[in-house]
A and B are shown apart, each in its own frame.
Chain A
Amino acid sequence: MSEKEYLEKNELISGYIDGQLTPRQITELKRLLAHDSQCQQELEAMERQQRLLQSLPVESAPAGLTQEIQSALERQFILGGSVRHSDTVGKWGLRLRKAAAAAAMILLPLLALSAVVYTILQPTEQAPNTSSEPVAAIEKGASASPELLFSAVLQFQTNQPIAANDFIEKKIHTLGLMNFTTPARQSDRTSYKIVCSRKYVEGLVGELADLWSHSEKASYALLDTSTKQPVCVDGIDAQQALAMIRLADISTAAKLAQNISEQNTQKALVKANPADVAEPRPEKPSKPILAWDKDMQQVPADGQDTICLVIEVLGQ
């Protein structure tokens, strides 16, 4: 029997066990089976093989995969499509990612240093926005708009930017603020521009209280929409940030900023004292108001208290 005939015979057998043969092909196979004992054996072997495959244990997806998929989809939703590529699957993909992260850890400080050197050597030219000052971000990220009560930037410097970003994204999603959030990524920072009613921003900032303990420093800058005068508070804590967001007018905000700065200076002095006691953990506000609970379209037009808050995470 030629190879072609052997293949044709097996195609008939394969089609037969799947019920794909025409009546004519079935007749042909029956004729073959009647005269060829090997053909009969091949049919039996193929049927047995199919039964075996069908009886293989069905593996269920690991526990927690649903949650992982949903988290990945949420990340995808928030960041607008930069989750992972197929090149990064598997343990070798993991090593590749680790190598990339290590390379980034080396290159990013060099880039930052280059930016600083460039700024010093080229003082007359407009420096790029590599500053870690929230005022720089406020002018770029939270441009003032006449509809907004105010615009502000809350900036975190951390050595765990990935965890910080994950944490912020999760909170944004949990509170249903995705529709009001515009994320942006640069080499050294990630920002989340949130434009919505102040009460939702308050809720979010309250939920971010734990972020302070994982940050080196937090700064806050407020921009008055009418005078464009920035008010900065360096080393702000969670409660102070909440207090600043709750303020309606810039003059009160300026006074509070000054008070907070003085308080922070005093705290720094107290910390320098060996007899310093542990700072109390910032108190979380009561349950935040969830944007999910409202009709999403109604939230931005919620009275006269729409604000813009840019949350920025700096770190490499």
Chain B
Amino acid sequence: MGRLIVKYQDRLYNAILKICGNSDDAAELTQETFVKVLENIGAFRGQSSFYTWLFRIGVNLALNFCSRKLRLGMCSLDGGVGEQEKFSLAANLPDKREINPVAIAQNRELARQVLAALEKLEDNQRAIIVLRDIEAMSYEEIAEVLQIELGTVKSRLCRARMALRELLQTVWI
């Protein structure tokens, strides 16, 4: 189990962090995922890979946590990019030919804005984008993790990307 933890904890933590948006919660959810994996190891039949099974548990926990957090009004997901912060990303796009402190700072700012936009998506949309575009899972793996049909993966992913594009639109121009 120790080797499995070392092997997967970073990827799982990173994905959960992108879904729930808070490092403390992500660490605790990652820990809880491994505890649940141990609890239910008898139920793992090997029909899917351990990796997708682990992520199924982790993503489910993260989504449940997000919906509970939203229901209890623990924090507002509207607290990301404020109106005053919306400005042209075109002006902030770094020049790839040079790496300097300014470019690094611009990259950080860009990442911050993308993450803030990601936070504004619905939980299910955010999860599918994280799994596909950040975790680089195949459609089949995403279907396995989220327990949805392949066709649903395609349509949900498309809608999520459209919603994110909409949110980022103000910064593209």
Cβ of B5 and Cβ of A18 under 8 Å apart?
A: no
Chain A residues with Cβ below 8 Å from B158 are 7, 10-11, 13-15
Instruction: Determine if A49 and B69 form an interchain contact, defined as CB atoms under 8 angstroms apart.
Output: no
A89, B28: Cβ atoms under 8 Å?
yes
Beyond A60-B13, A65-B30, A76-B35, is A89–B25 a contact (Cβ under 8 Å)? yes
**Cβ of B90 to closest chain A Cβ, rounded Å:** 11
Question: Are A18 and B25 CB-contacts (below 8 A) given A46-B161, A56-B114, A66-B9?
Answer: no
Whether B39 pairs with A52 at a CB distance below 8 angstroms is no
Q: How far is the CB of A25 from chain B (nearest CB, A)?
A: 11
Collect the chain B residues with CB atoms within 8 Å of residue A100's CB: none
Contact across chains for B157 and A14 when beta carbons are under 8 A apart:
yes
Residue B54 at the A interface, CB < 8 A?
no
Contact residues of A between 45 and 72, Cβ < 8 Å to B: 45-46, 48-50, 52-62, 65-66, 68-70, 72
A60 and B132 within 8 A (CB): no
Chain B interface: which of A78-86, A137-145, A225-233, A248-256?
A: A78-86
Q: Is the CB of A65 within 8 A of B134?
A: no
Q: Contact check: which of A10, A52, A58, A89 meets B29 at CB < 8 Å?
A: A89
The answer on a CB contact under 8 Å between A90 and B28 is yes
A contacts with B: majority SS: helix
A12 to chain B, nearest CB (A): 9
Q: Please judge, given known A-B contacts A52-B110, A73-B38, whether A86 and B5 are in contact too, CB under 8 Å.
A: no
Distance (whole angstroms) from the CB of A180 to the closest CB of chain B: 21
Give the interface SS of chain B, mostly helix, strand, loop or mixed.
helix
Q: A54-B134, A66-B5 are in contact. Are A11 and B154 (CB under 8 A)?
A: yes
Does residue A91 face the partner (Cβ distance < 8 Å to B)? yes
Query: In whole angstroms, how far apart are the Cα atoms of A93 and B27 in the complex?
Result: 14
User: Are B32 and A89 in contact, CB atoms less than 8 angstroms apart?
Assistant: yes
Contact B39 A69 (CB under 8 A): no
Chain B, Cβ-Cβ closest to A90 = B25
Judge whether A65 and B13 touch: CB under 8 Å.
yes
The listed residue (B5, B22, B74, B133) touching A53 by CB distance below 8 A is B133
| Assembled-state Cα–Cα distance A81/B38 (Å) | 10
Complex alpha-carbon distance, A55 and B72, angstroms: 33
Given A54-B134, A62-B27, A72 contacting B139 (CB threshold 8 A): no
Residues of chain B with a CB closer than 8 A to A66's CB: 2, 5-6, 9
B165 within 8 A of A: yes
With A15-B154, A69-B5, A76-B38 known to touch, is A58 a contact of B14 (CB < 8 Å)?
A: yes
Task: Decide if B48 is an interface residue (CB 8 Å cutoff).
Answer: no
> What is the interface of chain A, defined by CB distance below 8 A to chain B?
7, 10-11, 13-15, 18, 20, 42, 45-46, 48-50, 52-62, 65-66, 68-70, 72-73, 76-77, 81, 83-84, 86-87, 89-93
Nearest 10 A/B pairs, CB to CB: A53-B133, A61-B13, A14-B158, A11-B158, A61-B9, A90-B25, A69-B34, A59-B14, A69-B31, A60-B10
* Additional 10 contacts, C-beta under 8 A, given A10-B162, A45-B172, A53-B129: A18-B139, A18-B157, A42-B165, A46-B165, A50-B161, A62-B13, A69-B30, A69-B34, A77-B38, A89-B61
